[in-house]
Copies of this chain bind each other. A is one copy, B any other.
Amino acid sequence: MNLILLFDDDFITATRVRLSGRRLEHVTNVHRAAVGDALVVGATNGHIGIGTIAHLDREAIEMDVVLDRDPPPALPLTLILALPRPKVLNRVIASAASLGIKRIVLINAWRVEKSYWKSPRLSPENLRHQSILGLEQARDTVLPSIETRRFFRAFVEDELPFLTRGTRALVAHPHAPEACPRDVREPVTLVIGPEGGFIDAEIASLQAAGCTPVTIGERILRVETVMSYLAARLF
C-alpha cells in the first residue's frame, strides 16, 4: 500500500478522514506509523496528497489531508481480455490497475472454461477490491471500468468495431506474421486471448472487426506477464 485510497464516506470534515479495518491495520502493522507521521493518500478518482496522522487508536485512524496533486497519467489502453482462470483473475486485475489501464472488458472465448464465469471472484465487489489494491500499489486514484461479455461473437461483431474507433486495434497472437509495434503514439485497443490462445475462427472474427494480430516472438507468456510486457512495449 504505497498510497491510502480514500472514499467519500471516510471524510468526517472537508479535510479530515477517519479510517478503520484493512487500512487501519496496514498503517499500524506495516507502516508502523504514529501520530504526526505523514502518509501518501489519494481521493478515489481525484487528487493525491499527504495525510498527517492526527489520532490513532485500535479502533480508527484520523488524518488531516491535503490533496493537491494529479494522479499519474492513465495508460491510453483499452484491454479486452479473455476471462482468465479465477486463480489468476485477482492479480491480473490488480496488475492492470497498477499499470494505469482504465478500461477492461473480460470476454468469453472457446478456450475459456465455462466454470470460470461462475467464480465469485467475478463479482463487482471483488473486481473493485482488486482494482483498489492495484491503485494503492501504483499510487493512482482512478478506478478502471471493468465489464464482462459472455458472448464472444456478439461482442466482437456488434461492439468491438465501435470500441476500437480512433484507436490502434491489436490482438496478441503468438503465430502472427507482424511484430507488435513499439512506442505507439495513439490510443490502443489490445485483445489478449485465453491460456492456449484464441482459435483460428476467433482470430478471423477479431480481424474482421479491425484488430491486427501481432506477435512478440516465439515465447508464449502467461497473461499477467504478457500484459505488463505489452504495456511497456506499446508506450
Contact = CB atoms under 8 A, between A and B. Distances in A.
Integer count of this chain's copies in the complex:
2
A218 B226 CA distance: 21
A219 interface: yes
A54 interface: no
A116 to B, nearest CB: 15
Contact of A220 (B94, B95, B139, B233): B139
Interface in A195-233: 216-222, 224-226, 228-233
Contacts of A44: none
Given A229-B228, A229-B229, A233-B232, A222 B72 contact: no
A113 to B, nearest CB: 11
A219 B72 contact: yes
A130 B225 CA distance: 15
A218 B73 CA distance: 9
A222 B139 contact: no
Interface residues of A, number: 30
A2 interface: yes
Contact of A217 (B72, B226, B228, B230): B72
Contact of A95 (B100, B137, B225, B232): B225
Given A91-B224, A139-B219, 12 more contacts: A72-B218, A95-B222, A95-B224, A98-B219, A99-B225, A99-B229, A137-B220, A137-B221, A138-B219, A216-B232, A229-B232, A233-B233
A140 interface: yes
A217 B231 CA distance: 13
Contacts of A225: 95, 98-99, 224, 228
Contacts of A139: 218-220
Contacts of A137: 220-222
